[in-house]
Each structure stands twice: as structure tokens, then as C-alpha cells.
Structure 1
């Protein structure tokens, strides 16, 4: 489902547009945590539309981006022409051992079929003492876009429609789960940092469209709903945007809290 979804150019563009502000805010924190700079050879894993790669390049790093999605690679290469981008599998990268000083992963770990194995592969390509920083959206129970969506789907969606089994996309916001997993993958000095990221939508109704058109898992659930249930979820999200979002001439600023997890490779 993930591979099919992210191979769709419209989904890739929908994510790039809908999540642009939030991913850009988090990209700055990821670059901070890996000490991006002129002497840093960095891998931006699950590079998506290149928002983190752009931040790394802006700080003078030598950047390679990898993603399994061809449409995402095309968006990234267009946005960051001075970086190198390759299509590949994060679970079995073709880079030699000890290649990079730093690895960033902007919201990519939730798409790993086996997060711990994927993080072990990150350890392999990092030099001893190298830095990793990756981000996770806060999900169910959180105050903001993802928490609102989970709540609306639980109350208003057809319960017979479900996702294929897979790892919980938001589980690593829990330090009790994240720290041992990251340590078992070969890291130490594991830290979790809250980031107050946010989305910008032009109209309260548009938050539904951000998920429906730019998030593979959410879109899989939403697109299969009967029209009356889709309309109910849209209206529920719009009511929350109207009540909770800050506004200015650009639109409605919707909380989309996330967590950045950072660690050092053992050497």
C-alpha cells in the first residue's frame, strides 16, 4: 500500500504542498541536531520532496537524498538541484559502511516495515560517532491535526474499513518505546525533543483535503468511506480548525506537534 501510494505523483505533490510548513519547521530542528555544516557529509533518508535536504544544503553540507518514490525524487531534485538524489530502499541501502557523518529522516521511520531493522541499516552507513535525527508526528490523543483526525475517524468512520496491518506510525513518540529501540539499533545518547510544528490551510475545510490528498495511510481510510461519512469527518475537522487555529492573511495555522529523536552512533 505504501509503495503504491507514494508512486502516485498526485499524492507526492499533495504531501509536499499540504505539509510544507510543518515539514520545513521540523527540517530546521533536524539540521540543528546533526550539526549540519560545511564539514558534514549527510544522508537525508526518505527525503520526500527534499525539504530537509534543502535545509542541509543551505548550511553547507554535502547531501545525498534517498527515497523509494520516483515522484518524490523528481520533486526533490527540482527543489534542491545541488544535492544528489537516488531512488532506493531504506531497509537495504547500497552505500558502503561508515559513509556518512549524519543521517536525517523527516517523518520517514513510520513508513519502515520494520523500524528497528531500518535503524540498524542507518547505523551501518553512519561513521562511528555519527549523528542521526528523525521526526515522528504525534498521533492519537494529541492536540492538533493528527489527533483530531484519529478522533474523528474513530467516532465517524465506517468501522468495517481498516488499514493493512503494520507498525504503529506514531509509537516512537513514546520514549519508553523509542529509547530501547534506538539503542538496540546501535545508538547511544538518545534524546526526544518536542517540536511545535504546524500546518497552514487556506480554509477550515481544507484540513480534510490535506490528509485525503497527501497522506497514503489516511487517504486509504478516507477515500473508501461512504460520502456521508467523509462529509461528517470533513465537517468535524473544519469545526476544530475554526475553533483552535490561529489565523492571519495567509490562512489558518493548525497545530501538528511532532517529536525529533536524536542519537549518536556507537563507535
Structure 2
């Protein structure tokens, strides 16, 4: 396995930045809400259900879980994200910690949700095994993943634009593929080895809401650590070209609405049961 130290440093430094944390909340909240509803359905959130929301971010999943009267504990390694989550979901308990080595006891939760956080695990299997450890037998897990390269939407457009217009020498540190778990053929065996069964995948027609066509570039540049690293390493000329390319895709394939443009950003919710 590749050494992931540089990847972990990039992730921790990036998400600890209050500007990146706020940028994610501003740019991706609209899209994350629909996935949050699907995750809450998948884990059967409701009164008396204790849910651990891993990689809780700015609290969008925690809010949905609270709306269903679940008891919510949110965990994130970023103090900047915890601060945002405490404001948006004051009824939950938030803990700063490492999803790869949690201090929670075994069999402590009825359900685990992970809103777009699995790609941030430096070791996907280890993170999922930790989730299985803290789940009660028969407990449920649900996590969301953006569809990536080749998809018809914002993330696919970004990969395409960077590949065609970006500097190929600008690369990311070795780490897990950000979108591989959107493929149930890949997700199912990893989950099975990690202690889960009954794996299901549900496609979500999620959308980003951006204020203007050019703002899609800013959503990635200011609110997504990996994308910001790729875009930040480009020359100003290449950045402008990528921005213009993304803006054109928004104009042609997005939908203008009150307050901005709706941009397709398809995602998948993967769910399973703890064996």
C-alpha cells in the first residue's frame, strides 16, 4: 500500500482551514441535503435511534437526523467543521476525533452515517471496520459518495477540464480514490470484508446551487481540499481556462433558477447492515 502520510497532511491541513470549511458549507450544502435524506431513510433514523455521524462536516446530515428525532453524535477531525456543525445542529453532541481510531466503545450505536466522508479515510477498509466495531449487531450504515470521472455533472466536468486544460505535472499525494466507492461492485466486497452484509446502492440526482456559471470553479477551488490542491497548482492562465470551461458547461447543462444555477452533481448512497 502506498504511504499516505502526505495525503493525510493535505486533508488535515486543508479541512482545518476555516475558509475551506466555510467554502464547503457554502458550495455543497444544497447537494448534500438530498443525500442526507436518503441516508437517514437507509438507517431508519427515528426516535430512540442512536446515530454516529462520522465526518460530520458542517452538520448537514446531523440536522436531518435530528429532524427525525434521532439521538446524534457527530465526529470530525476538523475543529473548523465542528464549530460550523455546532451552530447548524445544536441538538447533537459533537466530538473532535479520528474516524480511523475512535474512542467510542464497541457496540455503542444503532447506526452510522458518513456524508461524503469515506474518501477522506486514508485506509477505506480500516475506517469501515471501525464503523462496524462501534455498531451494534444488526446496526445500519449509510454513506454518500460523489460520482466522479466520466459522470455527467460537476465532478465529471472538473476532471475532464483539468485533464484537457490543466498542467499534467500537478498531481495529488497518494491516497484512496475519491469516487471508487460509488461503484457498488467495488464497495460491496470492501464492506463485506469490513463486517457488513446486505449492501445496496441508490443513485441520487443531487445538484449544486451556484450563484453564477463561473462560481462552479470557486466551489471546488474554495471548498474541496483535493480539487483546491489541483486547481491551486495551476498557472493563472490554466485556471482561467478551466474556469471558463466549467462555466460553459453550467450554461449549457445547468438550469437557471431563482438565486443562481442548479448544476447536476450525481451521487450514490451505499447502505449495509452490520453482520
Category of TM-score, reference length = shorter chain: over 0.9
Task: Note the alpha carbon deviations across 1:61-120, whole angstroms, 9 max, x for none.
Answer: 010000000000000001111100000000000000000000000000000000011000
Take 1:31 and 1:71, find their aligned partners in 2: how far apart are those partners?
Answer: 24
Take 1:175 and 1:21, find their aligned partners in 2: how far apart are those partners?
Answer: 24
Q: Please, which of 117, 122, 132 is the counterpart of residue 113 of structure 1?
A: 122
Per the TM alignment, residue 35 of structure 1 is displaced from its structure 2 partner at its CA by 0.3
Per the TM alignment, residue 165 of structure 1 is displaced from its structure 2 partner at its CA by 0.8
> 1:13-32, aligned counterparts within 5 Å?
13-32=22-41
Matched with 2:74 is: 65
Q: Please, which of 118, 128, 141 is the counterpart of residue 132 of structure 1?
A: 141
Per the TM alignment, residue 246 of structure 1 is displaced from its structure 2 partner at its CA by 1.2
Task: Note the alpha carbon deviations across 1:32-79, whole angstroms, 9 max, x for none.
Answer: 100000020000000000000000011000100000000000000011
Matched with 2:230 is: 221
Take 1:150 and 1:220, find their aligned partners in 2: how far apart are those partners?
Answer: 13
Matched with 2:86 is: 77
Per the TM alignment, residue 231 of structure 1 is displaced from its structure 2 partner at its CA by 0.1
Matched with 1:142 is: 151
Q: TM-score, normalised by structure 1?
A: 0.99
Matched with 2:199 is: 190
Take 2:88 and 2:111, find their aligned partners in 1: how far apart are those partners?
Answer: 21
Matched with 2:4 is: none
Q: Please, which of 47, 60, 69 is the counterpart of residue 56 of structure 2?
A: 47
Runs of 4+ in 1 over 3 A off after TM superposition: none
Per the TM alignment, residue 248 of structure 1 is displaced from its structure 2 partner at its CA by 1.5
> 1:183-262, aligned counterparts within 5 Å?
183-262=192-271
RMSD of aligned Cα (Å): 0.5
Q: TM-score, normalised by structure 2?
A: 0.96
1:164 aligns with 2:173: yes
Q: Please, which of 4, 9, 31 is the counterpart of residue 18 of structure 2?
A: 9
Take 2:263 and 2:196, find their aligned partners in 1: how far apart are those partners?
Answer: 34
CA contact (8 A) 2:112 2:131 kept: yes
Deviates more, 1:124-133 or 1:19-28: 19-28
Take 1:140 and 1:31, find their aligned partners in 2: how far apart are those partners?
Answer: 27
Take 1:233 and 1:247, find their aligned partners in 2: how far apart are those partners?
Answer: 21
Matched with 2:45 is: 36
CA contact (8 A) 2:184 2:270 kept: no
Take 2:100 and 2:151, find their aligned partners in 1: how far apart are those partners?
Answer: 29
Take 1:110 and 1:162, find their aligned partners in 2: how far apart are those partners?
Answer: 17
Per the TM alignment, residue 235 of structure 1 is displaced from its structure 2 partner at its CA by 0.2
Take 2:73 and 2:155, find their aligned partners in 1: how far apart are those partners?
Answer: 30
